[in-house]
Every structure is written in C-alpha cells, then in structure tokens.
Amino acid sequence: MKIIEREFYTEKIEPYVDSGLIKVLVGQRRVGKSCIMRQIADKLARSGNGANCIYVDKEDFAFAEIRDAATLLGYVEPRLRAKKRNYLFIDEVQEITGFETALRSLHAKEQCDVFCTGSNAKMLSGELATGLSGRYIEFEIRSLDYLEFLKFHALEDSDAALTRYFTFGGLPHLAHLGLETSLADEYLKNIYSTILLKDVLGRMGLRNPAFLERLSVFLADNVGSVFSASSISRFLKSKSEKVAPSVIINYLHAMCSAFIVERAPRFDIRGKELFETREKYYFEDIGLRNALVGTNLARDVAKIAENAVFLHLRKLGYTVSVGEIGNAEVDFVAQKQGKTVYVQVAYLIADEKTRDREFGNLKKIDDNFPKYVVSMNPLNPGGNEDGILHLHIRDFLKKEAL
C-alpha cells in the first residue's frame, strides 16, 4: 500500500529528532498518526547513520503481551544496541498501563530517542504532565485538510473536488478505498463506532452508549450553533429525556478527549476575555460528522463550510474562539503568537442585507488585524471592502498562512 508523505507534519517533527525530548503525536483515531511516525522511522532507518529502530504497535496483536511499564521495558531493553543510535516508536501508547514510568526510565538513561502516538487527550495530558513534565513535546495530527485531500485523491482544485471533501472528509485511508462508494460510507461508520466504543466509553468509563449516540447526533446537527450543557439539558427535557447538565459536560469532555469534536469558546472582542458558558463544537473530521446524520449538502453546506474553516484555522496553529462584539457575532477569532485573525463564514452572500451583516460585523472591530469574509460566491474573488478580504472558500482553504 502506497504511503503518501504529509510534509506539513514530518517537517515539523524531524528537527526534534535526537533533541532529548519525547515526541508525542496526538489526534483522533485513523487521522494518520501511525503513518507519519512510520515515515520518520523509515527515513531514520535509511539514513545510513546506524539507526536501530524499535517499533511497538499496540493495535497489532503481536504486541498484546506488552501491557504495562515492566513488559514494555522488558521488550525494549534487550533490543537496544550499544554502538547504534536507538529509536523507539510506540503506537497508541495509552494502551500501556503506566507507560510514562517506562518512558521516564528510558529518557533518564538516555538509552533511546522516543516517539509515540496516542488517541486520548485527557489520558495523555494527565499522565504526561505528571510523569514526563518538561521531557516531551506534543504534535497535534489532524485529518487531511483540503490541499492534502486533493493530493491524496489526485484531484484538481474545483467545486466538484470541494463537494467531495465536504462529503467524505479527510481520513487518509479513504484514498485506498475510493470516493463515492459504499465502502467509504461503511468505513466512516465503522471508525465512528470504534472511536465511541473504545476511546470514549471504554477509556472514559461512561455507561450510557445510547445517550452518547444521541448527544453525538445533536452536535452533528448543530455544528456552528452556540449552546451550553444547560440548553442541551432543556432540549432533551422537551423530548422527555432528563439528563443533568453535569452529566452532559462529562460526555462533552470525553468526546473532546477522544478528538471527535473540539470546543470553541466565546470571546468578548472588546473586553478581550473568554466566556465560561455557551460555546460551539466542531467535528475533527467532516466525514465522520456526515456518517452520523447523513450527507445532505443542500441542507447542511453552510454548517460544513464553517466546520472546514475552523479545522483549517486549527491546522495552521491558531487558538480559535467565537467572537462577540456587542450584539453581533464574528464566527472565528483566531489567535497565535500575538497575532489575531477574524473570519466570517457565509454560504452565499446573495443580497445587500447578507453582505451588510457579514462585512458589518467585522467593520465594528477597530483594530488592524487581518479580517476575512469566506463564502462560496463565484463572484468577486479576492475583493476588498474597507480592508476586509472576501475569499472563495476554496482559496481560503488553500492558504498555508494568514
């Protein structure tokens, strides 16, 4: 099976080879963490520098006996070579109880350079922070962005290609299954079920799979809508289902920890502060979102477009919030290293009323940071109004920097 390199990630990780830091690749199941790590391992093995690569894949039954720190060390230490550069690669490290103890031991003895992947943010953050504080660096791996999607599926940039991206999302393995097939649909549904059962229910100890399913569907239906645990609780009560807001919060946190969805809090643009309640949630992969509620672009294209823009901003390394300025909303306030970017997303700007709303909200912001209106309008590409750049969504999703 051909492996396509994702240079965006390998080029970020490679400078940290032999740095003394443990490299941790985190992200949703099946977004390509393992392939990226294997690409790095293959490059090291072919480098001619005497690299000795040791690989542990916890999704392979051959490594089932590696269950805890002791059995991990028992497997690794005999395979270390004194006169070679030793590299340890561990796939799905959270499956090993007390893994941080073994990694801390290997790090302290400077026996090997360590890379690992994980699919549970809560588990990894707790164990890494307490057991390996200051000894690791984390890389977020995400599903394919639009440019990667074009590369993986050998497509030219076009409205038709964007429709496919909005339909199937960016899980890399789809490149081997093909698009517009029942295989792709079945694959997405199976991955969604695996994530919910293994990474949410199994790992987080939640006991109500039926409610988790209903909550997932609610989030998929309400991408781009502001709500709170209390408002979800009231909605469910109207449907004759009583669930306390505290329980809903636990389930939302679990879904975020498994990288199914990501929270975007509200941000007061004038007051420069985050609100603690009422937020938006976006799916890490559009295809998995569609697997939950079906693909209906005629109905959901605006939601999916907003989700795609959120994912692109996160891929570029921005912390993303939902902006408020007075009674107006700005879809995204993206911040990174002292820089802020404001983005409004609209399906079509079909009349002056819509144009006044989308551009008008941005005009209320009295700073000089970049401001974008992103839509699917075929007209006025690259248009500028009072310093606000109007881009077609395909052009925005192809931008490698803002």
What string of DSSP letters covers 84-138? Answer: SEEEEEEESGGGSBTHHHHHHHHHHTT--EEEEEES-HHHHHHHHHHHSTTSEEE
According to DSSP H, which parts of 243-338 are helical? 245-257, 286-293, 297-315
Cα 375 to the center of its chain, rounded Å: 23
According to DSSP H, which parts of 265-316 are helical? 286-293, 297-315
Residue 324 · residue 330 · CB < 8 Å: yes
> Which letter does DSSP use for residue 233 in this model?
H
pTM of the model: 0.93
Token output for 249: 């919060």
Q: Which residue has the tokens 């002056």?
A: 352
Q: Which residue has the tokens 């916890």?
A: 58
**pLDDT value at position 109?**
84
**pLDDT value at position 221?**
94
Strands 85-91 and 273-274: unpaired
Superfamily of domain 7-140: P-loop containing nucleotide triphosphate hydrolases (3.40.50.300)
b/e burial code for range 158-195 (CB count within 10 A of at least 16 → b) = eeebbebbbbbbbbbbbbebebeeeebbebbeebbeeb
Report d(CA 347, CA 109) in Å as an integer. Answer: 56
Closest C-alpha to 65, from 52, 56, 78, 54: 56
Question: How confident is the model over 363-382, as pLDDT tens digits?
Answer: 999 889 999 999 998 755 55
Q: Where in the chain is the domain with CATH 3.40.50.300?
A: 7-140
Whole-angstrom CA distances from 268 to 215, 241, 297, 337 are 28, 33, 32, 19
Edge-to-edge strand list for the sheet holding 113-118? 51-57, 85-91, 113-118, 22-26, 136-140
pLDDT lower than 50: segments of the chain: none
**pLDDT value at position 381?**
53
**pLDDT value at position 379?**
59
Question: How confident is the model over 265-317, as pLDDT tens digits?
Answer: 998 888 888 877 789 999 999 999 999 998 899 899 999 999 999 999 999 99
End-to-end CA distance of the chain: 35
